[in-house]
Amino acid sequence: MSLNRETTASLIVMAALLSTVLWAEATGEPFTITLATRAAIFALAGIGLNLALGMGGMVSLGHAVFFGIGGYAMGILASHAQTFTPLTTWPILIEGTNAMPVIWLVAVISSALAALAIGALTLRTSGVYFIMITLAFGQMFYYFMTGWPAYGGEDGLSIYVRNGFPGLNTLDPIQFFAICFAFLACALWLYIRVDASPFGLTLSAARQNEARLRAVGIDPFRIRLVAFTLSGAVTGLAGALFADLNRFVSPAMFSWQTSGEIVIFVILGGVGRPIGPVVGAGLYVLLEHTLGDVSDYWQIVLGAILLAIVLFARGGLTGLVLGRPLPHG
Amino acid sequence: MGDATPILEARGLSKRFGAIPASRAVTLDLRAGEIHALIGPNGAGKSTLIKLIAGDLTPDEGSVYLGGLDVTALGTAARAREGLGRTFQISSLIPEASVLQNATLGALGRLGQPYRFFSRALRDRALRRTAEAALATVGLEELHQTRSAELSHGQRRQLEIGVALTLAPKVFLMDEPMAGLSAEGARQLTGILSDLRRTAPILLVEHDMDVVFALADRISVLVAGEIIATGPPDAIRADPAVRSAYLGEATP
Amino acid sequence: MSFVFLVEQVLNGLQFGVMLFLMAAGLTLIFGVMGLINLAHGSLYMIGAFAAAATAAATGSFLLALAAALAASALAGAVIERLVIRQLYDRDHLDQVLATFALILIFSEGARWVFGSFPLYLAIPEALSGPVTLPFGIEYPRYRLALIGIGLAVAAGLFWLISSTRIGVQIRAGEADREMIGALGVDIDRLYLLVFALGAALAGLAGALIGAIQSVQVGMGEPVLILAFVVIVIGGIGSIRGAFIGALLVGLTDTLGRVLLPGLFGLLLDPAAAASVGASLASMAIYILMAGVLIARPQGLFGSA
């Protein structure tokens, strides 16, 4: 396989992230590793959204739903394991668990199902309707979790011990980072493969010209629905990891701000570029950390940067460095 | 010219928008090996008729048959899968995609394989063969890697037809393929279309009368949503109703 | 559940609905005329509330507070229209979403910087405090009744503006065909500025009026913004009439859902479970309504197909 520009850029950025963490480990700076883990998880959520937004042109302002569902999949399963109470006893007994692989599987399946259901409703519309409706569905889940007392309601749920993965000590920052980084690398690889696949070609055609797609006998609705579902599943996995990073879940994971932040990861880095969300999430965490130390009002600066990017640098950071994407394949 | 079995047939198609009838009981057919041109003054209802046949609009009355199958209830995508190869009046391509990718998209639709996530679209033999053959037919084999947004107007028209070809359609439905072409471009495309009728018959909507009378085996004239005459070019040229209703207006 | 209680709740629903209409009307006008989705509309609502609370604290006058809210939000609207929004009319929706999201960040953090994180309070004016007695001996807060009155009056004024004035003709022309109004010799820049400032003023008015019954704080605008989106989705984008009907539907569904659903579940479940399930579902009621409308009429009740 020959490396094109996008893949090369992806490898460079991933290597930079990895070396930062290895350097932090060598110099004994676990907090930097935690920041890098945070960035990797945000990047994963962003890659999920990029499947829908970048490849498919679906401007979803509701991806917090999937992030939150992934988070609560972890929170609910782990809290039951923590208190040794089963989730349900009828019709079958379901116990809680603190095994990460099971939690991931539940997170991915439940967020994919939610994305399928929400997509089936929202993808009947397009443009501004789609934006407003995805935002509204996010709010629905937010209020639902806020009002549901069984799992902490407004206050959220604390999980006291990080969940386990066979053979790893997940409480060691670098080992947990390794898990997140591995998922990020897989998601990036998935994105690049899908981008060049028949499905990716079809999806980007659905974004650019629906009439053309129909004229070759392909129904754009189903293509988008499949992409939206895949997108929700990846973002849901990120949510489960984020919950484990913080050992805490709360309705804030479902909030419109979270949806907005996931979009920002994608845009800061460069929409539709495989590595865009990784660059964007890295920049976001960096800004949050450095400016957050200087001023409580760092989001004013974030707002200004975002505004500048939208008005003057539409390809995001990756676009500034690499220029316009080429037709690939 | 060709046998008499219709491959595409419109039977009594009617469509009203509010109080305004855009199509009135239109019946026409397309037989193997022929180019059947549809002409008519602006506002005669040609676009509506195209949309009714392609499946963008549902008729109030009447039916559309494709290869003997009633496709009236099918949507645009399903009719394309049944073998309706369509080109648009205003070139409708995937602007960011290359010429080869545009053609591959057609091949994907034809082979029914859009849900493949890991193989590479441009490395698939079957897809590639279909796409390359179609591009060669329309003379774009030198431009595989060019982004379609960067093609000249004439090349876009060729690619439109190339994409339709990848569908291996039973019929072509072409909406003003000559629109905006230079004299040279029109001549080249006329040659391509003339050969193409042997691959599949063409229902051709066209404004350029030189092209229509040079290419068409039969011509139907649509005026105010109704077909007022159908026949070979010579008969149409001599038809008094056509002369007064259409040619009378168009040529002073 | 008594008749009196039910009437009270219907009035509460109406009051909520007409306030939502003030938000939704501006949003739908701005979308209809300029084709712009404005997420920062909630910030304009917040600006109105803060301007009113600060003015009332300084002067003690509620009328001055309302005037300040209208002025501040209209001015803020005009300023962002000139500086930012204007660049976005020809951009795609993604750019509009991002730029207006950036404005939310700037306005919210700016307000936190100026006013701090603690909520401000805006007192109900003396003349409108206390209850009023309605027919059938129903007692209802005078201020909330006034909100219904103001909301209906503004709605009537807006319908009149659009149906019977020169500006209204231009707005309707702009909704029908953006290029046409330029060709007709209308000053588009001025029209857009005017519509945007009008929408902003309506949002600011709603913020100030609601500010007297809820606390005034950073982040108060966005939940209302999202509800206004639900209203627009139900009513149909660009339709003032749709916004009005949608707002009343959402106001009534939400208010009555919160009151009736826990009781309804009380027939099936034990009281504690009924209260929590009922409350959770009630918070979802309007979204379920929205989903229902989407399935039946994706373009909204009054939207054009």
Sequence ranges of the domains in chain A: 5-322
Tally of helices (H runs) and strands (E runs) in chain A: 13, 2
The token pair at C39 is 């997420």
User: What are residue B61's phi and psi, to 5 degrees?
Assistant: -140, 160
Q: Which residue has the higher pLDDT, C74 or B223?
A: C74
Band (A327; pLDDT cuts 50, 70, 90): low
- The mean pLDDT of A235-261, rounded to a whole number, is 96
Per-residue pLDDT tens digits for A8-48: 999 999 999 999 999 999 999 999 999 999 999 999 999 99
Q: Do C284 and A140 make contact, defined as CB atoms within 8 angstroms?
A: yes
Q: Which chain C residues are within 8 Å of A300, Cβ to Cβ?
A: 105-106, 109-110, 113
Exposure string over A71-98, b if 16+ CB within 10 A, otherwise e: bbbbbbbbbbbeeeeeeeeeeeeeebbb
Cβ distance of C294 and A124 shorter than 8 Å: yes
Q: B107 CA to chain A: closest CA distance, Å?
A: 8
CA pair distance C248, C13, nearest whole angstrom: 7
Residue A2 pLDDT class (50, 70, 90 cuts): very low
Are the CB atoms for C156 and C18 separated by under 8 Å? no
> Domain ranges in chain C?
3-218
Q: Which helix (H) or strand (E) holds B7?
A: strand B6-17
Structure confidence at residue C305 as a pLDDT band (50, 70, 90): low
A133 touching C, CB under 8 A? yes
Question: Does C181 or B174 have the greater pLDDT score?
Answer: B174
Residues A310, C102: contact at Cβ < 8 Å?
Answer: yes
| Contact (Cβ atoms closer than 8 angstroms) between residue B193 and residue B215 | yes
Most distant CA pair in chain C: distance in Å? 68
A265 Cα to chain C: minimum distance (Å): 11
Q: What DSSP designation does A161 have?
A: S
**Residue C147: which pLDDT band, with cuts at 50, 70 and 90?**
very high
Mean pLDDT score, A267-277 = 91
Q: How far is A117 from chain C (nearest CA, A)?
A: 11
State mean pLDDT over B86-102.
92
Paired residues of B28 in beta bridges: B10
Asked if residues B188 and B157 have their Cβ atoms less than 8 Å apart, the reply is no
| Nearest Cβ partner for C229 among A132, A298, A306 | A132
Contact A234/C at CB under 8 A: no
Q: List CB contacts (< 8 A) between A193 and chain B.
A: 117-118
pLDDT for residue A329: 43
The Cα A206–Cα A208 span in angstroms is: 6
Report which of C248, C251, C249, C231 is spatially closest to residue C239, judged by C-alpha positions: C231
A181–chain C Cβ distance below 8 A for any pair: no
pLDDT of amino acid A152: 85
Q: Token pair for residue A233?
A: 């599943």
- Partner A contacted by C106 (CB < 8 A): yes
Q: How many residues does chain A have?
A: 329
Diameter of chain B by CA atoms?
62
How far CA A52 is from CA of C59, C91, C96, in Å, comes to 52, 20, 18
| pLDDT the model gives residue C256 | 92
Residue A218, classified by CB atoms within 10 Å of its CB into exposed (0-12), middle (13-18) or buried (19+), is buried
Q: Give residue A326's pLDDT.
A: 58
| A264 part of contact set with chain C, CB < 8 Å | yes
Return phi, psi of residue B222, to 5°: -105, 125
Nearest CB to C276: which of A128, A133, A148? A148
User: H or E segment at C6?
Assistant: helix C3-34
Residues in C touching A120 (Cβ below 8 Å): none
User: Which residues of chain B have a Cβ shorter than 8 Å from any chain A Cβ?
Assistant: 54, 75-78, 80-81, 86, 88, 92-98, 100-101, 104-106, 108-110, 112-122, 124, 127, 145, 147, 163-164, 166-167
Q: Give dist(CA A142, CA A150) in Å, integer.
A: 15
Share of chain B above pLDDT 90, in %: 69
Contact residues, chain B, for A208 at CB < 8 Å: 94-97
Alpha helices in B59-182 (DSSP H): 76-81, 99-111, 125-137, 153-166
Q: Do B80 and A216 touch (CB under 8 A)?
A: yes
Instruction: Give the pLDDT confidence score for residue C283 in this predicted structure.
Output: 84
pLDDT of residue C155: 94
Spatial distance between the Cα atoms of C88 and C100, rounded to a whole number of angstroms: 9
Structure tokens at C46: 């917040």
Which ipTM value was assigned to this complex? Answer: 0.90
DSSP classification of residue A164:
B
Within 8 A of C113 by CB-CB distance, chain A residues are 297, 300
Does residue B52 surpass a pLDDT of 60? yes
Q: Select the residue of C95, C112, C280 nearest A144 (Cβ to Cβ).
A: C280
Q: CB of B215 within 8 A of CB of B204?
A: yes
- Quick check: helix, strand or coil at residue B119? coil
**Interface membership of C273 toward A (CB under 8 Å):** no
Cis peptide preceding C119, ω within 30 of 0: no
A196-206 per-position pLDDT tens digit: 999 999 999 99
A133-143 pLDDT, tens per residue? 999 999 999 99
Mutate which of C98, C224, C295 to test chain A, going by most A C-beta atoms within 10 A? C98
**Model confidence at C138: pLDDT above 90:** no
More confident residue, A114 or C185: A114
Query: CA C86, CA C269: separation in Å to the nearest integer?
Result: 55
For chain B, say whether A211 makes contact (Cβ under 8 Å).
yes
CA-based torsion, C35, C39, C40, C43: positive or negative: positive
pLDDT exceeds cutoff 50 at B252? no
Report the alpha-carbon distance of residue C63 to residue C55 in Å, rounded.
10
Instruction: Report how many Cβ contacts below 8 Å link chain A to chain B.
Output: 113
Give per-residue pLDDT as tens, A159-210: 998 999 999 999 999 999 999 999 999 999 999 999 999 999 999 999 999 9
Whether B contacts A, i.e. 3 or more CB pairs less than 8 A apart, is yes
Question: CATH number of A5-322: 1.10.3470, 1.10.10, 3.30.70, 1.10.1200?
Answer: 1.10.3470
Using the beta-carbon criterion (under 8 Å), do C106 and A271 form an inter-chain contact? no
Contacts of A197 in chain B (CB under 8 A): 116-121
Q: Select from A205, A217, A223 the Cβ nearest to the Cβ of B80.
A: A217
In 3D space, the residue among A273, A289, A190 whose CA is nearest the CA of residue A230 turns out to be A190
C40 touching A, CB under 8 A?
A: no
Please tell me the predicted confidence (pLDDT) of residue A313. Answer: 80
pLDDT for B30: 96
pLDDT band for A131, please (50, 70, 90 cuts).
very high
B62/B9 Cα distance (integer angstroms):
11
Residue C170: pLDDT band by 50, 70, 90 thresholds?
Answer: confident
Q: Which domains does chain B have, with CATH numbers?
A: 1-83+169-252 (3.40.50.300), 93-168 (no CATH)
Mean predicted lDDT score pLDDT of chain C? 89
pLDDT > 70? residue B237 = yes
End-to-end CA distance of chain A: 11
- Mean pLDDT, to the nearest integer, of C95-113? 94
Test A59 with C94 for CB contact under 8 angstroms.
Answer: yes
> What's the pLDDT at B250?
47
What is the length of chain B? 252
Q: Establish if C83 touches chain A: CB-CB under 8 angstroms.
A: no
Neighbours of C273 (CB within 10 A): 13
| Residues of A with Cβ-Cβ distance to B162 under 8 angstroms | none
Strands A248-249 and A157-158: antiparallel
* pLDDT tens, position by position, C195-210: 999 999 999 999 999 9
CB atoms within 10 A of CB C117: 11
Measured CA to CA, the distance from residue A238 to residue A181 in angstroms comes to 11
pLDDT at B185 over 90: no
Residue of A208, A223, A325 lying closest to B114 (CB–CB): A223
Q: Please give the Cα distance from A140 to C253 (Å, whole number).
A: 14
Instruction: Report the amino acid identity of residue B138.
Output: V
Nearest to B118 among A197, A211, A329 (CB): A197
| pLDDT beyond 90 at C130 | no
Q: What mean pLDDT is reported for chain A?
A: 92
pLDDT reported for residue A259: 97
Residue B223: C-alpha distances to residues A36, B26, B82, B203, B212 (Å): 70, 11, 29, 17, 17
Distance CA A133, CA C230 (A): 7
The Cα of C47 is separated from the nearest Cα of chain A by a number of Å equal to 16
Cβ within 8 Å, pair C226-A256:
yes
Q: Is A275 on the interface with B (CB under 8 A)?
A: no
Residue of B nearest to A211 (CA): B92
* Structure tokens given for C247: 């707002």
User: Mind listing the pLDDT tens digit for each residue in C1-58?
Assistant: 578 888 899 999 999 999 999 999 999 999 988 889 999 999 999 999 999 999 999 9
Q: Which two tokens stand for residue B212?
A: 């229509």
Amino acid A323: pLDDT = 76
* Residue B43: per-residue pLDDT: 83
Burial class (CB in 10 A: 0-12, 13-18, 19+), B65: middle
% of residues, chain B, pLDDT over 70: 96
Q: For chain C, how big is the Rg over CA atoms in Å?
A: 20
